[in-house]
Structure 1
């Protein structure tokens, strides 16, 4: 698992520029590759420092670190994937096809649920395809926990995930018009390939992305020709009661879109939440957050295809 996250970090670092280049959904801000890489880096660093033989405990630690450092939609969804995947693996000391199938199913259900308005044709669709392929594999169905069964399941997952990435181009109008596949979906495909390679002691597939529309290294940055995006991305961590969390989601839906709320860990009678929203009014969003709790790790990022700047907001001061 440590080798998986380390390899995924390297792979996403190598591909971050190209992922940025084809990033046009949900906004053409050209940062999906960077966001995934930085989030993976936090997860990999936390995993490397964890001394345990428990796969679930390791991924829980990595997932929480990723959640606290998550960047953008893609980074936040990857963090949810990792923390959710950890739950069924708690206490396990080796990966098997049945365990992997259960973990991926948990992760895809949780990932769809954290979004107020989940959209097919994104990383979510690739995760869903991978989860279904794992659950439908003969090893998962029969309870075969052999290494051979795991290998066959991982190869089936990769075939399904690649097909799902190719399909994203026809699922979203913006991608169809630009003739590109979804950047987040490609990034997640690279993460899955790193898992396959680490679990089976194989190399990453250098030819994996050959032929994907928009992924030729000679192609220009697609997002550079898109209209400037108005508004900002607001992210933070905040502790809320269940009622306040429900209230916040409803009000964030009114203030903007791309709302993601994911529980990080229980705190007293509530939970520590990671919050993400795109909104034209940063002040209103932050006022809302501060009316319900004390947001930390608060950042504001301009949604712009021609350069975006992230500002850390001092926790002890108003906007």
Structure 2
């Protein structure tokens, strides 16, 4: 798991500029590559000095770190993906095909439910396809938990994910008009191939990204040609009961868009409340923060301009 996230960190650093260039959904703010890289880096760094433990505990620690430091839609969904993958692996000493299939299935369920308005043709579709691809292979192997079976299951997940990335161009009108695939989907594809790479001891697949619409180095930076974006992205952590969290989510849905809300931990405090990580796009920070402060005390607040041309974060607007 350490080697996976370290390799994903390095790979996303190498691809961040190209991912930014095709980032036009849900807003064309040209930062998907940067957001994914910084979020994966947080997860990777959390494991560098961690004492050896089981697979589930390792991924859970990485998921918590990623969620607390998540950047943007893509980073937030990656952190949900990582934390959810940890759940079926709790107490397990090694990864195998059946566990991988279960983890990807759990991750796609959690990721779809974290968004108020999940949209096909995004990182969600790619994750769903990867989970289905892994499950199909694992089912054909009748519970084989060998390393060879794990490699085959990973191959199935990556192959299905790539097919789903290609389809994103036709699933979302804005991507079809711009002739690009979804940036978050490509980022997840790279992350999954990093896992395959460290497990089987092979390099990343050289032809993995060949033919993806808009992804050639010589292709234009389509994100910077899109209309100027307005508003801000607000992210924070707040501890609430499930009922209060549901009420806040409904209110945030009315105030803005791109609402993502996911529990940071499955452990409740003495009052039955859980820490939640929130993400929303709103015209101004106060719109979201006033609603959040009415029910809880937000921490680890991050505010960023949605415009790709913004020269600095909007923390001064707090």
Task: Please give the range of the TM-score, normalised by the shorter of the 2 chains.
Answer: over 0.9
Q: TM-score, normalised by structure 1?
A: 0.96
1:289 corresponds to: 292
Give 1:261 shift.
0.4
- Give a deviation string over 1:293-318, Cα, whole Å, max 9, x none: 111111211111323632346xxxx9
1:66 corresponds to: 66
- Give a deviation string over 1:104-153, Cα, whole Å, max 9, x none: 00000000001000000000000000001111114565110011111111
2:55 corresponds to: 55
- Give a deviation string over 1:46-74, Cα, whole Å, max 9, x none: 12222123000000000000000000000
- Superposed CA RMSD in Å reads 1.3
Q: Provide the rounded CA distance (Å) in 2 between the counterparts of 1:219 and 1:307.
A: 23
Change (3 A) 1:207 1:230: same
Q: Provide the rounded CA distance (Å) in 2 between the counterparts of 1:267 and 1:29.
A: 37
1:45 corresponds to: 45
Change (3 A) 1:260 1:70: same
Secondary structure at the aligned position of 1:143 is classed as coil
2:269 corresponds to: 267
2:314 corresponds to: 311
Q: Which moved more, 1:142-151 or 1:162-171?
A: 142-151
- What does 1:100-249 align with in structure 2 at a 5 Å threshold? 100-138=100-138, 142-249=142-249
Secondary structure at the aligned position of 1:272 is classed as strand
1:280 corresponds to: 283
Q: Number of residue pairs matched?
A: 315
Q: Provide the rounded CA distance (Å) in 2 between the counterparts of 1:234 and 1:183.
A: 21
Change (3 A) 1:282 1:138: closer
Ranges in structure 1 where 5+ consecutive residues have no aligned partner: none
8 Å Cα contact 1:19/1:187 also seen in 2: yes
- What does 1:16-95 align with in structure 2 at a 5 Å threshold? 16-95=16-95
Ranges in structure 2 where 5+ consecutive residues have no aligned partner: none
